[in-house]
Amino acid sequence: MERTNFYYLLIALLIFLVAIPLTDDLGIGGVPIIRGLVFSGVLVIGVWSLKGGDRYFTLGMIFAVAGVILNVLAVQVHSLFFQHGSLLLMVGFLLVAISFTLRQVAFGTDISANRLVGAVCVYLLLGVIWALTYSMIELMAPGSFSGFEAWSDRGWDSEWLYFSFVTMTTLGYGDLLPLSATARALAYLQAVFGQFYIAILVAGLVSAYISNRQGSAKSD
């Protein structure tokens, strides 16, 4: 399988992680067209990271095109159905991207900076998909979390990203809390998985990359 340039995916994720909080602070996060543009941009840019695998690229294109269409419809008709549908398509795209990226990151003998970038992308993808999952749990069972602002018709905001990455890194500030059994289970699973991912896969790749560079320097 052809190796993929994961920098495209990293750029898309960074745009997403920065744009969502900025739109909320600027007071335009609730504007449907702004959120639609952010989601569509992430899907369009991120899908190019799947070019190395025909099957994954096809699935990614399906999710991206469908996601853009639903975003446009959500902006036009202001429908919660289309907004939530776009979230589900985003989750589908993230799952495809994680599967494809992890396959290239976890397996193989070559150690490169691109592979390290792929490992970082998987970590960020997991944080985003957990954030979306938390927001969906709150939608289906209101009151599963405390400390969040009242649920609005815009679907979700940067608070879910904040809670997800604070949980994954085990910072645990305590300002936002899971209350239901399902929410708590997902929270501690994310904390455990996040720590093991960094300690085992990312640390191992970085160590192998450094050793490889040092070996190349000595051979020269």
Would you say 184 and 190 are in contact if contact means Cβ atoms under 8 Å apart?
Answer: no
* Boundaries of domain holding 155: 7-219
In a domain, 49, yes or no: yes
Mean pLDDT of 44-63: 75
CA-to-CA separations, 157 to 3, 99, 215, in angstroms, rounded: 34, 25, 46
In a domain, 2, yes or no: no
pLDDT reading at 190 higher than 90: yes
In a domain, 195, yes or no: yes
Would you say 79 and 69 are in contact if contact means Cβ atoms under 8 Å apart?
Answer: no
Q: Which of 220, 22, 1, 219 is nearest to 110 (CA)?
A: 1
Q: What's the pLDDT at 2?
A: 45
- How many domains, in total, are found in the chain? 1
Burial class (CB in 10 A: 0-12, 13-18, 19+), 94: buried
Q: What's the pLDDT at 97?
A: 82
CA distance linking residue 69 with residue 80, whole number of Å? 14
The CATH number assigned to the domain holding 194 equals: 1.10.287.70
In a domain, 50, yes or no: yes
In a domain, 151, yes or no: yes
SS3 content of the chain, % helix, strand, coil (to 5): 75, 0, 20
pLDDT reading at 167 higher than 60: yes
In a domain, 64, yes or no: yes
In a domain, 1, yes or no: no
Q: What's the pLDDT at 163?
A: 93
In a domain, 152, yes or no: yes
**Residue pLDDT, tens place only, 92-136:** 888 888 888 878 777 666 677 777 888 888 889 899 889 988 988
